[in-house]
Amino acid sequence: MMASVPTGPAAPDVLARRFSAQLLSGPPARSPVEVVGRLLAVQGQDPRGARLTIRSRSAGLTAADVDTALTADRSLLITWLNRGTLHLIRSEDYWLLHRLTVRSQHEAACQRNLDAAGVTADEADKAVAVITTALADEGPRTRLQIRDLLTSAGLDGNAALHLLMLTCQRGVAVRGPMIGAEHGYALVHDWLGPPPAAPDRAADLAELARRYLAGHGPASDRDLARWAGLPVGEARRGLAGIAVELRDRPDGLAELRDRPVGQAELRDRPDGQAELAASLPGPKLLGSFDPVLLGWESRADIVGPHQQIVTVNGLFRPFALVHGKAVGTWSWTAGSVALEPFGHLRADVSAALAAEARDVQRFLGVEGE
């Protein structure tokens, strides 16, 4: 069984392999489902940021393709999972992730927020019943539509988001289709069908570890625990369950033997540094809450001294990544990208980031001037 690895700077080859596992280097993905399947769960409280995660790891797709996967295909959905936070996932992965990552303390925290808003536990239960009946009778509804239904039932419609969170944590509903420009909520049973037979928890943990490493390896047990929001002991159980599938590494990190296509192989030879540089991602504009900052205990190797990428209230800002390092932040203003570099950028890097900015416009469906 692998031991915990102390937190510290990652070796260059580890970073290169992680970028490849994240689809930030190597062949691009061909569909939104391929991206999300590799990453397993993409933080999803910022709708544009979640869609931009797909743009930066694929070629030729648009935000409309993500909406199609959410709505017509039903192949993606969003719900509260890892760490009690909204995540974009493949629909087929819902059952595994909900079983493992939705914990009693998440529902308790949600109820504390409702208590602070003046909504008692009994009122919350009544609201869940109202939401369930409405979605069963009328089909998917947006948060604003749910707010109006709750208000009509004599409940606090202003607490609709937390009441929907509670409904989703209990496994009743998910964010499924797009309804116009808004995300709609649907009953799990209606949207996904009945749950499959659940394996035992050991098998679930092993599958979680396997899927996590496909999109994040090499990584430690503590990295997996932090990402999933699980106790370290459960992360270790999962990794122990796939021990025969892991590559022997001198640093003690866990990595699958059969790594995804495109994962960098760095050989011990004189030109290894040049090979390493070539395996790092070229200039990219990454969206808010990008998974490359959320998958491990530390993000210091990427952000370095530029901690302002992550704000004091826990917001992860969009940023520019060049050869594995953050070189600036950016914002979406009046339909275009406004880049704020941390320092001087070479002319070729500036040109590459300008091309990225145009591709962000294309992806979001905004025509450049």
Please count the structural domains in the chain.
2
Give residue 263's pLDDT: 41
Do residues 82 and 235 make contact, with C-beta atoms less than 8 angstroms apart?
no
Average pLDDT over residues 190-198: 94
Place of tokens 């190597």: 26
A 10 A CB-CB count for 112 gives 11
Look up the domain containing 305 and give its range.
281-364
Give residue 9's pLDDT: 72
Is residue 70, in this structure, part of any structural domain at all? Answer: no
Q: What are phi and psi of 198, to 5 degrees?
A: -90, 130
Which of 150, 170, 190 delimits the end of a domain?
170
Is residue 117, in this structure, part of any structural domain at all? Answer: yes
> pTM for the complete prediction?
0.93
Is residue 122, in this structure, part of any structural domain at all? Answer: yes
Coil, helix or strand at residue 216: helix
| pLDDT over 90 (residue 275) | no
Which of 127, 145, 170 delimits the end of a domain?
170
Is residue 1, in this structure, part of any structural domain at all? Answer: no
Give residue 140's pLDDT: 98
Kind and range of the H or E element at 141? Answer: strand 141-142
**Measured distance between the N- and C-terminal CA atoms of the chain, rounded to whole angstroms:** 56
- Whole-angstrom Cα distance, residue 141 to residue 126? 18
Least confidently predicted of 7-21, 38-52, 184-198, 210-224: 7-21
- Whole-angstrom Cα distance, residue 284 to residue 116? 41
| pLDDT over 60 (residue 85) | yes
Q: Look up residue 220 and give its amino acid.
A: S
Is residue 22, in this structure, part of any structural domain at all? Answer: no
Average pLDDT over residues 84-91: 98
Average pLDDT over residues 58-81: 98
- Whole-angstrom Cα distance, residue 251 to residue 253? 6
**Which structure tokens are listed for 227?**
């990402």
Q: Above pLDDT 70, what percent of the chain?
A: 92
Give residue 67's pLDDT: 98
Is residue 164, in this structure, part of any structural domain at all? Answer: yes
- CA dihedral angle for residue 75, residue 83, residue 48, residue 51, rounded to 10 degrees: -40
| pLDDT over 80 (residue 262) | no
- CA 121 from chain centre, in angstroms, equals 30
Radius of gyration of the chain (CA): 21
Do residues 86 and 194 make contact, with C-beta atoms less than 8 angstroms apart?
no
Q: Closest Cα to residue 254, out of 239, 275, 271, 233?
A: 239
Is residue 150, in this structure, part of any structural domain at all? Answer: yes
Place of tokens 């203003």: 333
Which of 115, 141, 170 delimits the end of a domain?
170
Do residues 361 and 368 make contact, with C-beta atoms less than 8 angstroms apart?
yes
| pLDDT over 60 (residue 267) | no
Is residue 129, in this structure, part of any structural domain at all? Answer: yes
Paired residues of 337 in beta bridges: 332
CA distances from 56 to 26, 53, 165, 355, 367 (A): 12, 6, 29, 12, 19
Average pLDDT over residues 61-68: 98
Average pLDDT over residues 269-290: 74
Those residues with Cβ within 8 angstroms of residue 92's Cβ, 6 or more apart along the chain or in another chain = 75
Secondary structure letter of residue 247 according to DSSP: P
Give the confidence band of 366 by pLDDT, cuts at 50, 70, 90: confident
